[in-house]
């Protein structure tokens, strides 16, 4: 059974699992309690906060733990919009964002906010100059991803951050797909808010982070107790927080070597497919992208059929198109890039990770060509 869908989620790292288990056993206290049981877990939460801050290059006081990357994105966008509605109602984002950002901005549009949706080029890249041209005196937030979850394209975040800083506009970055694959430095990137999800890093599902830089004014999304310095109410997910801290520590230690290894495996996969099958297209820029991600369109094949046949061969990958209520919808990312409908419907994302090997890639390359040929017939 070969798993090549790491951009969807990653398996929990064995060392992360060992780190979190005590917090489902003997270390059970509420971190808000002042007695020994609470103090023990409070110390663990703060240690994890330090590890996350070191990984993301920010101050520990700027780290806010959430339930997911989606919550972090909502907290950033809605929080800034609510806190600064008196100054303006204009938000700038892109057409290729994750639904956590797209649908949050669409929600604000329905509430009367003005949203500018930036286009990308045929290679999936964003032109910072086009972004700056959209800024008005009513602009209160820029929200762009660091790396695209479908095609892996990396946006020019430092340039966008400089533009936002120059115009004194808050800048939110969805870094969920990038964390653990490329370096992240909140200070150098000039971000105001940055979202990360634990389950992409080898932590369990159900834990995320929003970095809120000091001085940023944003209303909380969830009201209640005073947890997370009054930014996010609710008893903390201690085991998840500890797990995320450990996952960040492990990712930081192996980032350079693992990125190089995954890039080599991805190139092996792409070159093997291109050499064995005609009428195949790699979507997105070939250089400015995540080292583990390959989005490939197969002419004359529908992705859902290809996914089923690969699954029967024990290979788990995902599609560039999403099924909803029985209707196949073309990927909004590929559509924004101008990929024709028929080609977009035959798009598959291969995303590699820690447990993948050259043997996995070679097995895929043995199975895939014959499946594609059969489906084309």
Known catalytic residues?
Answer: 323
Sign of CA dihedral 6, 74, 173, 209: negative
Describe the crossing of helices 36-56 and 238-276 by its angle, rounded to 10 degrees: 30
CA distance 182 to 288: 11
- 241-263 exposure pattern, b = at least 16 Cβ within 10 A, e = fewer: bbbbbbbbbbbbeebeebbebbb
Kindly tell me the sign of the dihedral angle through the C-alpha atoms of 337, 323, 293, 72.
positive
Structure-block tokens of residue 54: 């070191």
Concatenated DSSP letters for 185-241?
-HHHHT-SEEEEEGGGTTSPSS-EEEEE-TT-----SS-SS-HHHHTS-S---HHHH
Q: Which two tokens stand for residue 148?
A: 């695209």
């Amino acid at each position: 059974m070969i798993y090549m869908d790491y951009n969807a989620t990653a398996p929990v790292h064995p060392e992360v699992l060992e780190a979190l288990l005590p917090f489902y056993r003997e270390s059970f206290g509420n971190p808000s309690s002042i007695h020994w049981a609470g103090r023990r877990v409070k110390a663990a939460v703060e240690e994890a906060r330090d590890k996350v801050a070191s990984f993301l290059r920010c101050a520990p006081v700027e780290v806010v733990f959430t339930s997911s990357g989606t919550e972090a994105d909502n907290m950033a966008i809605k929080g800034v919009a609510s806190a600064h509605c008196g100054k303006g109602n204009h938000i700038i984002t892109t057409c290729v964002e994750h639904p956590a950002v797209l649908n949050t901005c669409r929600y604000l549009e329905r509430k009367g906010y003005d949203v500018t949706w930036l286009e990308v080029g045929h290679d999936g890249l964003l032109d910072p100059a086009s972004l700056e041209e959209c800024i008005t005196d009513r602009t209160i937030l820029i929200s762009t991803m660091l790396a695209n979850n479908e095609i892996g394209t990396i946006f020019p975040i430092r340039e966008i951050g400089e533009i936002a800083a120059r115009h004194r506009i808050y800048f939110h970055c969805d870094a969920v797909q990038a964390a653990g694959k490329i370096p992240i430095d909140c200070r150098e990137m000039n971000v105001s808010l940055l979202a990360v999800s634990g389950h992409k890093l080898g932590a369990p599902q159900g834990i995320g982070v929003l970095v809120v830089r000091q001085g940023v004014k944003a209303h909380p999304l969830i009201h209640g107790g005073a947890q997370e310095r009054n930014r996010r109410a609710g008893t903390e997910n201690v085991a998840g927080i500890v797990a995320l801290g450990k996952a960040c520590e492990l990712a930081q230690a192996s980032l350079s070597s693992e990125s190089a290894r995954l890039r080599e495996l991805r190139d092996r996969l792409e070159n093997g497919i291109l050499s064995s099958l005609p009428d195949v297209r790699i979507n997105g820029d070939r250089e400015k992208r995540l080292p583990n991600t390959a989005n490939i369109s197969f002419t004359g094949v529908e992705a859902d059929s290809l996914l089923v046949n690969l699954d029967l061969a024990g290979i788990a990958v995902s599609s560039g198109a999403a099924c909803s209520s029985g209707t196949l919808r073309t990927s909004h990312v590929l559509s924004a890039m101008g990929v024709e409908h028929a080609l977009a419907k035959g798009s598959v994302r291969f995303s590699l990770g820690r447990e993948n090997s050259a043997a996995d890639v070679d097995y895929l390359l043995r199975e895939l060509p014959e499946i594609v040929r059969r489906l084309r017939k």
